[in-house]
Amino acid sequence: MAKRYAVILAAGQGSRMKSKLYKVLHPVAGKPMVGHVAEQLEEMSLDKIVTIVGHGAEKVKDYLGQRVDYALQEEQLGTAHAVQQARSLLMGEEGTTVVVSGDTPLLTAESLNAAFGYHEKHQAKVTVLSAHVENSFGYGRVIRDEDGSLDRIIEEKDATDEERLIREINTGTYFFDNEALFNSLNKVENNNAQGEYYLPDVIEILKEEKERVEAYSIDDVSEALGVNDRKALSQAEMLMRERINEKHMTNGVTLINPQSTYIDSDVEIGKDTVIEPNVYLKGSTAIGEDCVIGINSVIIDSQIGNQSIIQSSTIDQSTLETEVTIGPNAHIRPNSTLKDQVHIGNFVEVKNSLLGKGTKSGHLTYIGDADVGEKVNFGCGTIVVNYDGHKKHRTTIGDNAFIGCNVNLISPLVLEPNTFIAAGSTITKDVPEDALALERAEEIHIQGYVSRQREKWEKGQ
């Protein structure tokens, strides 16, 4: 099989985005656009992927890392000039090179593979990836010969009235015979209003040399969307999320209202899980089977075990094992692990803590920097006081401990297994196993106080 290469064009500043963030790093469904492009190319097991960087080069490199090779376009002098920067990495190689923009996040490996096959089958020197659209205004039109092969690409401003009626457009993705590409790039001129070197000019050069040039039309026109401004970014976001939601539903996940369900591209969900409306699943989240993710929940970079139920809560960078129930209105903060059958109720916050199997905290409790055993019960209003104003401290609570309502546990602290903490206590000393800890001021009753106080009020005192 012939070798295959890719060049990702990611050097443009993207001024129309009007953003401090480099254009190809704008996220779509939780992942930078250039990440979507690189991911699809990686799926195809190409022999080499070269990313052309310019503005924001270091940030792009920081994101993509060692996944690709890089070439720097110091001055942005057009797309042909950009591809020229890959000369030292690809010049002399035999095979096919696809040139794709880093702002086309909806392109799929399936379409690219099909176009590779078409290009190689027809032994073309260049194949333009095209698409048929309802409104072709602003796009370069694909003009075909009588036999269906590519004649030329003509831009909107240069097209005749008849040519403007053509609905087949140039997507800006090209497949080249690699040797023909770099031989032709030397012949591209910049005699245009912008003084730039344009990659489509290679098509004309090859056509004049009597080489075979082709166009391959993709079935899904949405894949052709290039993102140059915030409007197009929102369109790409919507289309990508529709694609993601359809994938999960096909795989056995129930989405009550897909239009109000937001799932990032790397999220995994097990079958027979139900996702209610207004849910946002972000980052590298993985959700098991037979779960219910309730309305208005947000889950970020977390792992949720089978048969868990999340009600209107936020879970961030944490792990929930099986049959865990959360909420409503709970907050599981980073670095927390909740073992099997843990229950966290309404308005409970857990941070940087481990909660053992079967532990329960029903409502209005803060558990921070704690290692909690199995079957511990937290009463309403319990606070693990983990911060002394200078440093965080940890609390350890053994199995089967019972903590009454309105208790303050002043860290650092150890409650041994089977301890009982009386309601209203503030505990500052370690509690031994099987002990009751009680800390309250003596209750005093002052007889007649209310009547005497009322008399003072009535006299205006």
pLDDT of residue 192: 79
Residue range 258-276, pLDDT digits in tens: 999 999 999 999 999 999 9
What phi, psi does 409 have (nearest 5°)? -110, 110
pLDDT of residue 461: 65
Residue 81 and residue 204 in one domain: yes
Residue 129 exposed, middle or buried by CB count within 10 Å (0-12, 13-18, 19+): buried
Residue 427's DSSP bridge partners are 409
Residue 54 and residue 158 in one domain: yes
172 pLDDT more than 70: yes
Of 163, 191, 224, which residue constitutes the final position of a domain? 224
> Residue 283's pLDDT band (boundaries 50, 70, 90)?
very high
- Within a domain: residue 177? yes
- Distance CA(410)–CA(391), nearest Å, equals 13
Tokens encoding 98: 């696809």
Annotated binding site for acetyl-CoA: 386-387, 423, 440
Of 178, 208, 224, which residue constitutes the final position of a domain? 224
- Within a domain: residue 418? yes
Type of residue at 142: V
Give yes or no for a contact between 245 and 255, defined as CB atoms under 8 angstroms apart: yes
Query: For residue 365, what are the domain limits?
Result: 313-437
Residue 81 and residue 193 in one domain: yes
Number of domains present in the structure of the chain: 2
- Within a domain: residue 257? no
Closest by CA position to 116, among listed 125, 127, 105: 127
Closest by CA position to 115, among listed 99, 133, 103: 99
Residue 180 and residue 47 in one domain: yes
Residue 203 and residue 322 in one domain: no
- CATH number of the domain that residue 398 is part of: 2.160.10.10
Give yes or no for a contact between 50 and 69, defined as CB atoms under 8 angstroms apart: yes
Global pTM?
A: 0.91
pLDDT of residue 433: 98
Residue range 376-419, pLDDT digits in tens: 999 999 999 999 999 999 999 999 999 999 999 999 999 999 99
pLDDT of residue 138: 78
Residue range 96-153, pLDDT digits in tens: 999 999 999 999 999 999 999 999 999 999 999 999 988 888 788 999 988 888 888 8
> Residue 157's pLDDT band (boundaries 50, 70, 90)?
confident
- Within a domain: residue 263? no
Residue 22 and residue 135 in one domain: yes
Residue 200 and residue 328 in one domain: no
Tokens encoding 289: 């089977």
- Within a domain: residue 333? yes
pLDDT of residue 152: 87
Annotated binding site for UDP-N-acetyl-alpha-D-glucosamine: 9-12, 23, 73, 78-79, 101-103, 140, 155, 170, 228, 333, 351, 366, 377
- Distance CA(257)–CA(252), nearest Å, equals 15
> Between vectors from CA 448 to CA 446 and to CA 453, what angle results, nearest 5°?
100
Residue 217 and residue 347 in one domain: no
- Within a domain: residue 254? no
Of 202, 224, 246, which residue constitutes the final position of a domain? 224
The stretch 34-52 carries a mean pLDDT of 97
- The residues carrying an active-site annotation are 363
- Within a domain: residue 87? yes
- CATH number of the domain that residue 150 is part of: 3.90.550.10
Annotated binding site: 9-12, 23, 73, 78-79, 101-103, 140, 155, 170, 228, 333, 351, 366, 377, 386-387, 423, 440
Annotated binding site for Mg(2+): 103, 228
- Distance CA(224)–CA(171), nearest Å, equals 5
- Distance CA(387)–CA(200), nearest Å, equals 63
Residue range 311-362, pLDDT digits in tens: 999 999 999 999 999 999 999 999 999 999 999 999 999 999 999 999 999 9
